[in-house]
Amino acid sequence: MSTFSAPRGTYDLIPPDSADFLAVREAMAAPLRRAGYGYIETPGFEQVELFSRGVGESTDIVTKEMYTLTTKGGDRLALRPEGTASVLRAALEANLHRGALPVKLWYSGSYYRYERPQAGRYRHFSQVGAEVLGAEDPALDAELIILAADAYASLGLTGVRLLLNSLGDRECRPGYRTALQDFLRGLDLDEDTRRRIEVNPLRVLDDKREAVQRQLTGAPLMRDHLCEACKEYHEQVRELLTGAGITFEDDPKLVRGLDYYTRTTFEFVHDGLGSQSAVGGGGRYDGLSEMIGGPALPAVGWALGVDRTVLALRAEKIAPDLPRGTEVFAVPLGEDARRALFALVTELRRAGVAADFAYGGKGMKNGMKSADRSGARFALVAGERDLAEGTVQLKDLASGEQSPVGLGALVGTLLAALRPEPS
């Protein structure tokens, strides 16, 4: 223990548990790479305004959860609370929208929100995200949803459910908004929520409190107000998903916390995480580009939470396929052996074998203890006499069997033992 600990609402990724995080990130990224998405990375902070305009002045993210700071130069910056606004900002700045469309991008990184910390809700967390810019095609909405569902499935998760809704567009949403406001104004709600009715009434549907939810029975629903074009679009998304074998639940009250969503909106939930259930979410955000000063640019995307997906794996008792741990552990006896085995370890690593070494001049007994602890299958042991004979001792740590192997044959012998050809 030092004088310091990880800040409230944060935690460190420590081996061996950290391997699960890498496995989840990789599982989320692999389907995207196969589908032609290019990797994008943006700064960890942006101008505050990008988020207040791009995420929405009335959202919890902007009003309560943003980490903001003023630099010595007087710039007002915020640690990024989400990825979409930054990715769109970067794409517009690089003029990607003037090239071939659609532009497909994916990202992976850390995000920061000043939240009340609890299991599955942190102040620093990780997302993998994907965005498609410059095309309005239900096949893209469907593609993204399929890629996310495939990512969860490739991890072996069976408890992830997909909730789906349409939020309408400029055509039909205003009329629905007014109808919803009329309904909400008649309810018994607190001061804050009443204010929300005027600014962002759809978000009231998202209120988690039982007393509010009870009153929402009978609220007008977007699905009964969709214009023909939105209805047709949504129907196509649903058909494409069904065709791909993706099951989903229509959730007419699913609205998500951000202002810029239009049409398709979806959330992936898992019921094994306690009070939090959203493991990922996204949707179409055709209005965002103009909101941050760009041209009209239809877009659709999602962000999947890495932390909560790891929790889902643990809830389902799944250990993801991990990269190989140490396979060979070298224990030298004496200075000459130390040099020879260090060279062999380097050679083994270059040949693709995960090899480690008894550093710190441990001696035989402690060296073998480290070998056992490393989980390696084989130990390499060598002293003066072995070296004089041009051999090292190869010990199978499971059976205890030990035999001398010539230095020149060692890499081949180990590769044959560790990676037998399928017969």
Least spacing, CB of residue 317 vs ligand ATP, in Å: 20
Q: Is 122 a binder of ligand ATP (CB under 6 A)?
A: yes
Least spacing, CB of residue 300 vs ligand ATP, in Å: 14
Q: Is 279 a binder of ligand ATP (CB under 6 A)?
A: yes
Closest CA to 300 of 275, 281, 277: 281
Q: Fill in the amino acid letter for 243.
A: G
Q: Fill in the amino acid letter for 265.
A: T
Nearer to ligand ATP, 286 or 307 (CB): 307
Interstrand relation of 38-39 and 103-112 (parallel, antiparallel or unpaired): parallel
Q: Is 303 a binder of ligand ATP (CB under 6 A)?
A: yes
Instruction: Mention every residue, 6+ apart, whose C-beta is less than 8 A from residue 270.
Output: 157, 159, 160, 161, 277, 279, 308, 312, 315
Among the listed ranges 30-38, 43-51, 278-286, 377-385, the one in contact with ligand ATP (CB under 6 A) is 278-286
CA 21 to chain centroid: 9
Q: Is 207 a binder of ligand ATP (CB under 6 A)?
A: no
Least spacing, CB of residue 409 vs ligand ATP, in Å: 51
Q: Is 51 a binder of ligand ATP (CB under 6 A)?
A: no
Distance CA 21, CA 23 (A): 5
Least spacing, CB of residue 399 vs ligand ATP, in Å: 45
Strands, E, within 310-390: which ranges? 328-332, 355-357, 378-382
Q: Is 418 a binder of ligand ATP (CB under 6 A)?
A: no
Residues 282/301, Cβ–Cβ less than 8 Å: yes
Q: Could you say which residues in the range 58-97 bind ligand ATP, by CB under 6 A?
A: 82
Q: Is 307 a binder of ligand ATP (CB under 6 A)?
A: yes
Closest CA to 24 of 268, 263, 319, 261: 319
Count of chain residues binding ligand ATP (CB under 6 A): 18
Return phi, psi of residue 367, to 5°: -60, -45
Token pair 């790479």: residue: 33
Taking CB under 6 A as the criterion, the residue among 80, 89, 104, 113 binding ligand ATP is 113
Nearer to ligand ATP, 115 or 251 (CB): 115
Nearer to ligand ATP, 278 or 418 (CB): 278
Q: Is 203 a binder of ligand ATP (CB under 6 A)?
A: no
Taking CB under 6 A as the criterion, the residue among 42, 108, 127, 370 binding ligand ATP is 127
Q: Fill in the amino acid letter for 397.
A: L
Q: Fill in the amino acid letter for 354.
A: A
Whether the bond between 332 and the residue before it is cis, its omega within 30 degrees of 0, is no
Q: Is 278 a binder of ligand ATP (CB under 6 A)?
A: yes
Least spacing, CB of residue 276 vs ligand ATP, in Å: 5
What is the chain's length? 423
Least spacing, CB of residue 392 vs ligand ATP, in Å: 48
Q: Is 298 a binder of ligand ATP (CB under 6 A)?
A: no
- Please state, in angstroms and as integers, the Cα–Cα distance from residue 219 to each residue in 84, 180, 190, 194, following that order: 30, 7, 18, 15
Among the listed ranges 119-127, 169-177, 179-187, 375-383, the one in contact with ligand ATP (CB under 6 A) is 119-127
Contact residues for ligand ATP (CB under 6 A)? Answer: 82, 113, 115, 121-122, 125, 127, 256-257, 276, 278-281, 303, 305, 307-308
